[in-house]
Amino acid sequence: MEDWSDCLDVAVQIARRAGQVVQSAVKQEKQVSSKSTPTDLVTEADHQVEELIISTLREKYPSHRFIGEESSAAGVKCELTDAPTWIIDPIDGTCNFVHSFPMVAVSIGFAVRKELELGVIYHCFDGTLYTARKGHGAFCNGVRLQVSKEKDVSKALILTEIGAKRDPATLDIFLGNMKKMLSAPTHGVRIIGSSTLALCHIASGAAEAYYQYGLHCWDIAAAAVIIREAGGCVIDTTGGPLDLMSRRVVAAGTREIADYVVKQLQPINYGRDDTDPDGLA
Ligand code: IPD
Ligand code: CA
Ligand code: CA
Ligand code: CA
C-alpha cells in the first residue's frame, strides 16, 4: 500500500516555490482581468503559478491527473476519477492578491480513488506552511495542529466567505445565514477573503466553524485533509458526507458545532464543479 509520503515532500517543495513566485508578484504591477463575473478576478500570476505547479508535478508523476482552477476555467474537464489526482488552487485569494491584502495562499491537494490523501497550503505573505497526510496528522510549520474542542456555539468564532454570486436574492440568503450565526449569539463572524486560509484557521483551532456555498473543489481539497487530520469534521451543508464537487461545505472543530451550523443554513444553489466548473447555475 502506497503511503504517498514522497508526494507530500514534493508538494511541499512546489508549494514553497510557487508561494515565492506569488510573493514577488505581489510587489509588481498586476494584469487583472475577470472571468465569470466582474468580481471573479484573475491575473497573469494565477496562470503562471498553476503552470509551474502542474508542469513540475507532471514531470515527476507523468501518470497522475490534474485539476487546477485556471485549467478548468480554460476548458480542461474538472474530473475526479480513481486515478491519483492533484487538485490545485494556484492563488487562493486572488482579490486579496490584487489588493496586496495579506491573506493569499497556494493550495495543493491530492486524492487517490477519490479519497483525499494529502493537503499542503502555503500562506504566501508570512510563509506559514500547513501540511497533512491521511492517518499521519496535520502540521503548521512542523507543529502538530489540533482543532478547537468547543461544543458550545455561544462561545464560537465562525468563518465564512462570499461566493461569486452577488445578485440581490443570493445576497439576501447570504446575509440571512450570517444574521443567524451572529444572533445565536456566537462570539462573531469573520470573512478573510481566502477559503483555504479560513479553513486552516479551523484546523489550528483559531475558529470553531466555517461554512460556504460557492467554493470549488480546489478551495477545499487540501484543507479538508488538514482539518480532518487535526481532529475536525468536514461535511456537506446538509449534514451528509462532503461531496468535493458540490460547491458547499461546513467544517468545524466538533460535530456539535457543525450540526448547529447545518441546522441554521438556508442553501444557495451553485452548479457542480464537475459539470459547470466556472458557471454560476
Ligand atoms: C476564492 C476565495 C474567496 C472565496 C471564493 C473563492 P480564488 O478563491 O477563496 O475567499 O469567497 O469562493 O473562489 O478565486 O481567490 O482562488
Ligand atoms: Ca479565482
Ligand atoms: Ca480559491
Ligand atoms: Ca485561485
* CATH classification (class only), 5-144: alpha beta
Catalytic residue, chosen from 92, 208, 229, 278, is 92
- pLDDT tens digits in sequence order for the chain, 281 residues long: 688 999 999 999 999 999 999 999 999 999 999 998 888 999 999 999 999 999 999 999 999 999 999 999 999 999 999 999 999 999 999 999 999 999 999 999 999 999 999 999 999 999 999 999 999 999 999 999 999 999 999 999 999 999 889 999 999 999 999 999 999 999 999 999 999 999 999 999 999 999 999 999 999 999 999 999 999 999 999 999 999 999 999 999 999 999 999 999 999 999 999 998 877 76
**Residue 278 confidence (pLDDT):** 75
The alpha helices in the chain, defined as continuous H runs, are 5-26, 44-60, 69-73, 94-99, 168-182, 195-204, 217-229, 255-264
Specify whether 89 is catalytic.
Answer: yes
Closest of 114, 118, 40 to residue 79, by C-alpha: 114
Atom of ligand 1 nearest to the CA of 95: 15
pLDDT for the residue numbered 131: 98
Nearest to 222 by CA among 107, 145, 130: 107
pLDDT at 163: 84
Dihedral (CA of 241, 246, 252, 258) sign:
negative
Q: How far is the CA of 235 from the centre of ligand 3 (A)?
A: 18
**Domain range summary for the chain, segments of one domain joined by +:** 5-144, 153-264
pLDDT of residue 36: 86
Q: Which of 219, 229, 273, 278 does the annotation list as catalytic?
A: 219
Residue of 46, 50, 69, 208 marked catalytic: 69
What amino acid occupies position 104? V
Q: What is the pLDDT of residue 277?
A: 81
To test the pocket of ligand 1, the residue of 22, 72, 96, 194 to mutate (highest count of ligand atoms within 8 Å of its CB) is: 194
Q: Is 92 in the pocket of ligand 1 (CB under 6 A)?
A: yes
Query: In sequence order, what are the residues at sequence separation of 6 or more whose Cβ sits closer than 8 angstroms to the Cβ of residue 223?
Result: 107, 109, 119, 121, 195, 196, 199, 200, 203, 234, 251
Q: Which CATH architecture has domain 153-264?
A: 3-Layer(aba) Sandwich (3.40)
Are 233 and 257 spatial neighbours (Cβ–Cβ below 8 Å)? no
Collect all residues with Cβ–Cβ distance below 8 Å to 132 and sequence separation of at least 6: 118, 119, 138, 139, 145, 203, 222, 225, 226, 228, 229, 230
